[in-house]
Amino acid sequence: MSSITYQGYTEQQIIAGCVGGERKFQQMLYNMFSGKMFAVCLRYAGEYNAAQDLLQEGFVKVFRNMEKFRGEGSFEGWIRRIFVNTAIEHYRKQVNLYALHDSEVKYYEHYDTNALESLKYEDVLKMIQKLSDGYRTVFNLYIIEGYSHKEIGEMMGISEGTSKSQLARARYLLQKMIMQNGEVAKHSAN
Amino acid sequence: MDDKSLKNFDRHIEQVMNEGSVTPPFGAWNRIAAELEAAPAAGVATGAVGTTTQPLFNTGAVLGFISGALLIGTLITGWLLYNNYNNNSISVTPVVNTELPVEEIVTTTQPVATEPVLQAPVEVKTTRIVSTTPKVEKSATEVPAKLQNNEVAAPTVKLPMDKQKNTDEVYYFPPVDINTGTPTENTTATADEEDEDNDADEVKIAKKVTQSSSSGERIKFKKKRKTNWTYGRLNKTKNKSKF
């Protein structure tokens, strides 16, 4: 466990306080991770209000299950996993994923690497939020969270091939958006 | 697009997104805290509910059970009362003595042999039932076949037939001369006089036997006694409309 301190309290002390149900330590934990976790929620949620709901639901789960944290891994990773699972549970019922045929999967072969590197966080977030729920979820789980297609398939209740095809489609749409964004940037610069 | 460029694309997106941190909206913590406060309160409430001893049956079931028991009790009581009412009109079956006294009389068609008989006499054994009617012994508590509601069965005691017959007839002791001790010939006592002694109010037709020139007996009927006898004042006053 890392020795992160916040307002003079170590992470262990804050966790112990949260396990004891002390509101002060719970608020400290919220202040420590709310920014990052809200970013996670925004990635999985299609809109801002839905992300707020996910944030609230995720933190309530964290505080209620605090005693289950055994200190074996990163505490931030544990919290992040709770938020990801909350988002997946939220969208699993809504998302109706299906496998795409190879003819439907297109790769945008010529994209500008400079346009990609010039992208900021907010720009990428907006592009990801424009994706449909299924593409967005698989893209987040594979690219950002680092899950394999097999794990994604188990988590989402879909096959591995479906996860792959959904990811390929999400990539194609994002690259297309990046190219369009780069062209717009070029035109605006000229 | 080759794998290298794909990996480069993925890595760049991952870095950008992981570095990002968005400040949550103001008031988000308050909503979370409110939900956390509401949850333990609900837990306490549920715990309090859980610790209270629940009755085995709810109130509706108890009320239903009581009403059902009352209904059943009423029905049973009514049935018993109805049976008691019917029992009053049930006739008591007389005790029938099925043991029939059978007299066995053996008769023979052959005359009584005074001489030695060579052949064995054929004996016809007949059985005659002397009394075929069973003796019915009515119990002392025998009641009529059916009684009305307010009637009470009174035991009818029947005397033997011989005694009953004797009581119907009037027996007159013959007059006996005290000096000699022999019965006298003059028997002039009539039933009419006897009746007048016993019941003076009763109007009867008396039979008077008188001797006439004719050989047969002549019956002379006595006229009805004219009396102003009534059934009493009470009946008169009560049932004026009838009179």
pLDDT of residue A133: 87
Residues of B in contact with A52 (CB under 8 A): 24-25, 28
Assigned token pair, A62: 């964290």
- Alpha carbon A4 to its chain centroid, in Å, reads 23
Q: Which of A144-158, B73-87, B134-148 has the lowest mean pLDDT?
A: B134-148
Residue A39: which of B13, B20, B36 has the nearest Cβ?
A: B20
Residue A125: which of B1, B20, B28 has the nearest Cβ?
A: B20
DSSP assigned state of B156: P
Q: What is the pLDDT of residues A18-38, one digit of tens each?
A: 888 888 888 888 988 899 899
CA–CA gap between residue B90 and residue B143 (Å, rounded): 10
| B30 touching chain A per CB within 8 A | no
CA distances from A153 to A138, A157, A188, B181 (A): 9, 5, 42, 148
Residues of B in contact with A117 (CB under 8 A): 12
- Alpha carbon B149 to its chain centroid, in Å, reads 12
Q: What is the pLDDT of residues A80-133, one digit of tens each?
A: 999 999 988 887 766 665 555 555 555 555 666 777 777 888 888 889 989 988
Q: What is the pLDDT of residues B132-186, one digit of tens each?
A: 455 555 454 544 555 555 555 555 555 555 555 555 567 677 777 777 777 665 5
Interface confidence (ipTM) of the complex = 0.78
Say how many CB pairs under 8 Å bridge A and B. 84
The CA distance from B15 to the nearest CA of chain A, in Å, is 8
pLDDT of residue A58: 92
Q: Which of A40, A53, A61, A54 is nearest to A136 (CA)?
A: A40
Q: Determine the Cα angle at A109 with ends A106 and A112, to 5°.
A: 130
pLDDT of residue B160: 54
Contact A124, B17 (CB under 8 A): yes
Contact A136, A44 (CB under 8 A): yes
Q: DSSP 3-state assignment of A10?
A: strand
Residue B12: which of A107, A117, A128 has the nearest Cβ?
A: A117
A104: left (phi over 0), alpha (psi -120 to 50) or beta: alpha
| A105 touching chain B per CB within 8 A | no
| B36 touching chain A per CB within 8 A | yes
CA–CA gap between residue A143 and residue A136 (Å, rounded): 10
Q: What is the mean pLDDT of chain A?
A: 83
| B54 touching chain A per CB within 8 A | no
| B200 touching chain A per CB within 8 A | no
Contact B32 A30 (CB under 8 A): yes
Assigned token pair, B205: 């037709």
Residues of B in contact with A121 (CB under 8 A): 16-17, 19-20
- B208 Cβ neighbours under 8 A, 6+ residues apart: B190, B192, B219, B220, B222
Is the pLDDT at B44 greater than 50? The verdict is no
| Domain annotation for chain A: domains and CATH numbers | 5-92 (1.10.1740.10), 113-189 (1.10.10.10)
The CA distance from A88 to the nearest CA of chain B, in Å, is 18
Instruction: Please name the residue that has the structure tokens 């059985």.
Output: B127
